Amino acid sequence: MTTVYDVARAAGVSTATVSRVVRGSDLVRPATRERVLAVIEDVGFVPDASAQGLSRRRKDIIGLVAVERGHGPTDIERTSLLFVDQLVHAVEAVLRGSDCSLLLSFGRPGEAFQRRIRALSGKVDGLLVVEEALPAGQVEVLARRLPVVTIAGGAGEPGADAVRVDNARGMRALAAHLMDGHGCRRLAFAAGPADAPDAAERLAAFCAAVRDRAGVEAGSDVGAGPGAAGAGAGAAVDVVPGGDFSEASGRAAATVLLDRAARPDAVACANDQMAIGVMREFLRAGVRVPGDVAVTGFDDIFPGRIVEPPLTTVGQPSRDLGALAATRLLERIDGRAGPPRAELLPTELVVRRSCGCTDRGRP
C-alpha cells in the first residue's frame, strides 16, 4: 500500500504538501502541485479513507437501512424491491454532488438487525432510516449520537428529521373516486404489514374516508359485507389483514375475498404489488376487473402501468422522498440545521382503468 510518505519522498516534499495537493488546497505553488500530482499518478496513490476519517472526524459516508420484505427467495427475487430501490437511487443521485457515498443495509426488524445497524452507525456520518427498520425508541437513541432522518417512518421521532408522504390525502381522494365516481358501496381493503407506518396510515385513512362519506348518505348500506369489522355503524370496510406488500400476499388476500358470501365491488390495496396480485388472482378465478370489481393500489410503480388493466393507484413521489431526505441529512451533517423538522410530501390520484374508468374518463 502506498501512502503519503511514499509520495512525499518521491516528490521531494513533505507529507503536509502531499495532503494539501490531494485535498485541493490552493496554498501550494503550481509547480510543486504538478510534481506531486505526477508522482501520485505514477504510483497510483489513493488516500486511505480510514485514516482520513480518523483525522478529519468525518467519514464521507452516509448509511441507509431499510426493511427487507417478502418470504421466500422467489418472492424476494422478483417483487417488493421497487419502493426502496427508488429511494436508493434517488439518495445516491443527491450524493453524487458531494464527496459522500452511500452505505446500505437491509434486514428484517429484530434484534439481529438492530445490532447490525448499531455497528453500521460507526461507519457513517449520518443515517437514513426507512420505515420501521428500527423501533421508534432506538431511533431516538441513535439520533443522540448521529444525524438521523427517517423516511416513511412514524410521524417524527424526537431528535430526528422525518420525511413522509401524505397517505391520508391520497386515500381520501381514492375513496371519493371509488364511491362517488363509480358508485362502489362494498369496499374491501387488502392491508399491508402491521409494522409499516405507511401501511397503517393508508388503511386507517381509507376506512375513515369511507366512513365519512357513508355518513353523509342516509341509511347507507356501505360495508355491510360479512367480514366487515365493526360494521355496527353501517359504514365499514372489509379489511383483509396479513399482507406484507408482496404480490403473493395480494393473491392471498384475493383468495380470501373470493370466499366471501358478498363479494366487494372495490378492493383498495396497501401498495401496487399487492394490487397486482389481487387483480391477477381475481382474473384467474374468472372475476372480471374492473367489470365485476375495481382494484386499486398505492405507489405508482412501473409494473402498474403495464398490467392489464392498467392500475388505478395513488402516486407517491418516491424519488423526491429520497432526495429530500438525503439533502436534509447532508445539511445536518454540515452543521447547518435548525430543530428537527417533519416534512410531508403530496400524493396524487392516478386514474387508469382498473377502477372502471376508460382511457378518457369515467365509464
Partner DNA sequence: TTGTATGCGTTATCAC
Partner DNA sequence: GTGATAACGCATACAA
State the residues that interact with DNA by CB under 7 A: 1, 3-5, 12-20, 22-23, 27-29, 31-33, 45, 47-48, 50-52, 54-57
- Tell which positions 130-169 bind a second copy, by CB under 8 A: 141, 144-145
Binding of a second copy by 121 (CB under 8 A): yes
Closest of 51, 344, 31 to residue 201, by C-alpha: 344
Closest of 118, 201, 121 to residue 165, by C-alpha: 201
Closer residue to DNA in complex, CB, 54/112: 54
Out of 38, 51, 262, 285, which residue is the one contacting a second copy (CB under 8 A)?
Answer: 51
Instruction: Give me the residues paired with residue 350 across strands.
Output: 313
Least CB distance to a second copy at residue 316 (A) = 12
Q: One symbol per residue from 303 to 322: x for binding a second copy (CB under 8 A), - otherwise; what is it? A: x-xxxx---------xx---
Instruction: Give me the residues paired with residue 349 across strands.
Output: 314
Least CB distance to DNA at residue 264 (A) = 56
Closer residue to a second copy in complex, CB, 14/74: 74
Is the four-CA dihedral 312, 290, 75, 198 of positive or negative sign?
Answer: positive
Binding of a second copy by 122 (CB under 8 A): yes
Q: One symbol per residue from 31 to 50: x for binding a second copy (CB under 8 A), - otherwise; what is it? A: -------------x-xxxxx
Out of 116, 169, 260, 263, which residue is the one contacting a second copy (CB under 8 A)?
Answer: 116
Closer residue to DNA in complex, CB, 51/194: 51
Residue 141 contact partner, candidates a second copy, DNA, none, CB within 5 to 8 A by sort of partner: a second copy
- Tell which positions 3-32 bind a second copy, by CB under 8 A: none
Is the distance from CB of 180 to CB of 158 less than 8 angstroms? Answer: no
Out of 99, 111, 259, 359, which residue is the one contacting a second copy (CB under 8 A)?
Answer: 99
* Rounded Cα distance, 204 and 166, in Å: 13
Instruction: Give me the residues paired with residue 239 across strands.
Output: 189
Closest of 161, 264, 283 to residue 206, by C-alpha: 264
Torsion angle, alpha carbons of 115, 119, 120, 123, to 10: 170
Closest of 188, 198, 39, 218 to residue 132, by C-alpha: 198
Whole-angstrom CA distances from 253 to 243, 298, 342 are 7, 16, 33
Closer residue to a second copy in complex, CB, 113/206: 113
Residue 186 contact partner, candidates a second copy, DNA, none, CB within 5 to 8 A by sort of partner: none
Closer residue to DNA in complex, CB, 31/218: 31
Closer residue to DNA in complex, CB, 29/360: 29
Cell representation of residue 177: 373516486
Candidates 115-123, 191-199, 334-342, 346-354: pick the segment binding a second copy (CB under 8 A). Answer: 115-123
Residue 144 contact partner, candidates a second copy, DNA, none, CB within 5 to 8 A by sort of partner: a second copy
Residues 6+ apart with CB under 8 A from 185: 179, 220, 221, 222, 223, 265
Closer residue to a second copy in complex, CB, 120/344: 120
- Tell which positions 212-271 bind a second copy, by CB under 8 A: 247
Cell representation of residue 127: 443515517
Closer residue to a second copy in complex, CB, 85/331: 85
Least CB distance to DNA at residue 54 (A) = 4
Please calculate the CA angle 299-259-222 and round it to the nearest 5 degrees. Answer: 65
Q: Which residues of 210-223 are buried (b: 16+ CB within 10 A; e: fewer)?
A: bbebbeeeeebebb
Least CB distance to DNA at residue 127 (A) = 17
Least CB distance to a second copy at residue 233 (A) = 38
Is the distance from CB of 120 to CB of 64 less than 8 angstroms? Answer: no
Q: How many residues bind a second copy (CB under 8 A)?
A: 60
DSSP SS3 for 190? strand
